[in-house]
Amino acid sequence: MSAPEADPAPAAATAEPICELHAWPTQGIRSIYSGWFHGGIVDGAVKGRDGYKELPERVLPPEVQVSEMRKMDLAGILNLPGYSVTVHANPLPSRVARSTKGRILRRATPCYAELVVDDVFFQEDLIDGRFLKAILRFRRFDAGAEPIDKFGSYIQRRVKLFPPKEPGQVKAAFDEFTTEFSGAIAEFGRALSNRKTD
């Protein structure tokens, strides 16, 4: 009598689609200063225009932004559980971020999302004080060409030490600005989660 045939092995579970989050830094910071005699000219401080304080060089360059973003749980912050995260080293031109209707990376997996740091500003206002302001853009795709979710916002974070007034304050001021950059990304994630949708 022949031995009974073994039950067939269960079929392998269908693999979950691989999901990717891609993030990009911006170029160096921009500036806005508003006072009694200045009307908020963009980059007046960065360019060292007459009457505007010149900012220190190499404030929050792309490589520092990348380092900070790679330390963060970006997938968790953006409520994308299971997504692999790639933070690109090279800034994405603002024109590309604003005008690309489909995916920025066309060869990415169907399950795909983007986070773009579009701009970072230092704003000094005679009345309100000093701030880091970041403009961020988020989009999420499935297999289609159009995003199934998108959100953009600017985040404002107060700074107290930046810009440094004395050489001995440079490190603390730069560290504060970097910390508030990371805080802006985290706050953007909260705004993304808490927004009202139709």
Residue 198's pLDDT band (cuts 50, 70, 90): low
Q: How far apart are CA 161 and CA 137, in angstroms?
A: 27
* pLDDT tens per residue across span 68-107: 999 999 999 999 999 999 999 999 988 888 899 999 998 8
Contact 179, 160 (CB under 8 A): no
Residue with tokens 């006072």: 35
pTM of the model: 0.82
Start-to-end Cα distance in the chain = 68
Specify whether the backbone of 91 is left (phi greater than 0), alpha (psi in -120 to 50) or beta: beta
Q: Which residues contact 159 (CB under 8 A, 6 or more apart)?
A: 122, 130, 131, 132, 176, 177, 180
